[in-house]
Structure 1
Amino acid sequence: MEQQFREGDFIETKHGLIFDVKGLVHPPNRVIAFIRYYPSKNGERKGKKQSYKKIYSLSKRYEWLKKNFPEYLVYDQVFNEVLCEVPITDIKKHYTPVEELKRIRNKENPDSLESMIMEMASLLKSSARISWNSIGASGSVMVGLHTLNSDIDLVVYGSENCRRVYSAIETLFKDPCCQLKPYSLDELKRLYDFRSKDTLVGFEDFFKTESRKVLQGKFMGRDYFIRFVKDFGEINERYGDVHYKNCGYGKVEAVVVDDSEAIFTPCTYKVEDVKVVEGPKLQPIREIASFRGRFCEQARSGETVLAQGKIEKVMDRRNGNEYFRLLIGNKPSDYMILKS
């Protein structure tokens, strides 16, 4: 059976580089992924055999690859941009969140982070009544590079399972005795300080969207982030089915008419009444999309948003449909905020 890769997975190359897989659609024999950790004698992350350094921002990831492994940066004609694509022949190990959570559950002496991951996953599993095969643990713990302060990174698979977990968290948030809690104002300020290096919006706009999210918060006092990812059987797009063309940078005002895909990574918001405020005046712009988890839950149906990012022409070769979308999350200047 052909090996499949999706959002939340990590891959390790024969050079010891560790990448996080992005999205659900990948070219034949290659995986779209971003460098996350690289071996370094001065690295602050200690693995079993060597130390690693972590690269945080998207721009730094591209810079590092350009300098050290430029062969991984390739122009992708389907997505019409330079992406990091790792050849499958270079992959030494494929890490998956479901297998990682299984490992943690079977471990005799889990550390403090692993114990919290197990407790939170168990809480969500029982509250939402999903199977162990539908939930996993991602992030640094998956490759043994977590620290005492690492976040809890969980992934839930399958649309129905994701919606059940979402509903369960909303209920759990209302229970004052539950260890699962939304961010407080002070915690959101700290999150803003961390995020503002990579996404430049004011705190007031940041607070309006982030304060009502359930896919992030605290569990037993530790930061958590949950990704909702479609099951392989739900992914009806194959590489090359849809082509994208960069049409420039723009800012739009739009009304969200369908937020049903807003909880997933990648996320999509169907929009109408779109006004192009800045940039190429192209129509119809039918959606705002992002491959970044931080843009999930950003707006709800009926709300008017201001968003800035790359305007792309979407060409669906399966049915001949053509329209435009705004893709956000590639630059620090990209944003999506509620219009007050």
Structure 2
Amino acid sequence: MIGMPDLAEGYYVESAEGLLFAVKGLIHPPGAVVAYLRYVPDPGGKRERRGIRYRRLYHFGEQEELLREKCPDCLFFDPVFGETLQGVPRERIKQVYDPCLRLAELRQGRSLDGLEEKAVEFANLLAEKAGVSEECIGISGSILVNLHTSGSDIDLVVYGVENCRAVHGALRELMGEPDGEVRRLSGEELRALYATRSQDTPMSFEDFAWLEGRKVIQGKFRGCEYFIRFVKSPVEVEERYGDRRYISLGRAKIEATVADASEGIFTPCFYKIEDVRLVEGQRAAPLPVEIVSFRGRFCEQAEEGERVRARGKLERVISRGGEVHHRLLLGRPGDFMTVIEEIAPG
């Protein structure tokens, strides 16, 4: 499809060993695709396809431990990103799973299960409400690789900046409709989500519930939980692999005011910040000018004018031309971002 990303966020790839990975971001090193392990063949797994049972891996630690054992080539240090990444060498990719193609196939299907039907209906509703082409929306997650169960989430992905903003606005309108088909998560549902998220992203339940309760990228459609990723198309991303180098300056905790949250709905998400104060970290460490994350959980995390506290990896970013700035990257277990001061009314 014209303008659709090649191996972008939302896609999955299967390695020669039969491991299933979720592709991360739009920028990949030559000869490999940055992707994180999601499903592994396991006789004791609770999901099955093509006669093979699979187990879902949720946490970085267990993902990396398994890769070191079964596929060490899928853990590699990248000199541009300055860290060890999960990914699949391109010559080891056995199959690519395209979210837009999968959703198109489901639309043509005649024997869909209940979750697949709801996924198609939800995608069609969003496209119609937002006035965008159905082709810019795809299905990711377990449905993409046919490992879903009746209790799985609906994971959609939208490509293209204008499409993303239109669908995001449509979601907000749909959530505002009384007795509508789209609603926010309830307190009990948020507590269940917190039990999972808080293992990697520490914060109080009160802060978590307040932050997640105002988001529209996740919620429920006709009783099924959903999560939506908004992803730019390649032509909308100027950076190419190697245009910038990222150098770790260690861990840091900061407080800052969000100056621009307009990129906060996308994966990866970006928040421009000002009035930055270093709370924890090396003395005389340079102050970051942005907070960045490739994890969907940090999308819609803060709004312009809000004061936030965040912990992550402080990085120096150096362009080919020698320009330098610093950022706080959120992504590893223990990283967080929470609002400590809301926007003043008026």
Say whether the fold is shared (TM-score over 0.5). Answer: yes
> What's 1:200 paired with?
202
Total equivalences in the alignment: 337
> What's 1:39 paired with?
41
Deviations 1:101-133 (Å, cap 9, x if unpaired)?
001100001101100101100110000011022
**What is the CA distance between 1:320 and its match in structure 2?**
2.4
> What's 1:29 paired with?
31
**What is the CA distance between 1:283 and its match in structure 2?**
2.5
| Root-mean-square deviation (Å) | 1.3
> What's 2:295 paired with?
292
> What's 2:339 paired with?
338
CA distance in 2: counterparts of 1:130 and 1:99, whole angstroms: 17
> What's 2:138 paired with?
136
> What's 1:313 paired with?
316
1:330 partner SS: coil
Deviations 1:205-240 (Å, cap 9, x if unpaired)?
112211100000011111100000001211211111
> What's 1:148 paired with?
150
**What is the CA distance between 1:78 and its match in structure 2?**
0.4
1:1-340 maps to which residues of 2 (within 5 A)? 4-280=6-282, 281-317=284-320, 319-331=321-333, 333-340=334-341
2:289 partner SS: strand
Deviations 1:282-323 (Å, cap 9, x if unpaired)?
224110000100000000000000000110111111x42201
Q: Which moved more, 1:272-281 or 1:299-308?
A: 272-281
1:339 partner SS: strand
Retained in 2: the 8 A contact 1:6–1:22? yes
**What is the CA distance between 1:71 and its match in structure 2?**
1.8
**What is the CA distance between 1:142 and its match in structure 2?**
0.9
2:211 maps to a residue whose letter is T
Q: Which moved more, 1:24-33 or 1:280-289?
A: 280-289
Deviations 1:75-118 (Å, cap 9, x if unpaired)?
10001111112111111110011001001100001101100101
1:65 maps to a residue whose letter is L
1:279 maps to a residue whose letter is G
Deviations 1:246-290 (Å, cap 9, x if unpaired)?
100010000000001100000010001110011023224110000
2:191 maps to a residue whose letter is K
CA distance in 2: counterparts of 1:88 and 1:337, whole angstroms: 37
Retained in 1: the 8 A contact 2:35–2:88? yes
Retained in 2: the 8 A contact 1:208–1:338? no
Could you tell me which runs of 5 or more consecutive residues in structure 2 were left unpaired when the two chains were aligned.
342-346
1:285 partner SS: coil
Could you tell me which runs of 5 or more consecutive residues in structure 1 were left unpaired when the two chains were aligned.
none
1:146 partner SS: coil
Retained in 1: the 8 A contact 2:313–2:330? yes
2:270 partner SS: strand
CA distance in 1: counterparts of 2:198 and 2:148, whole angstroms: 23
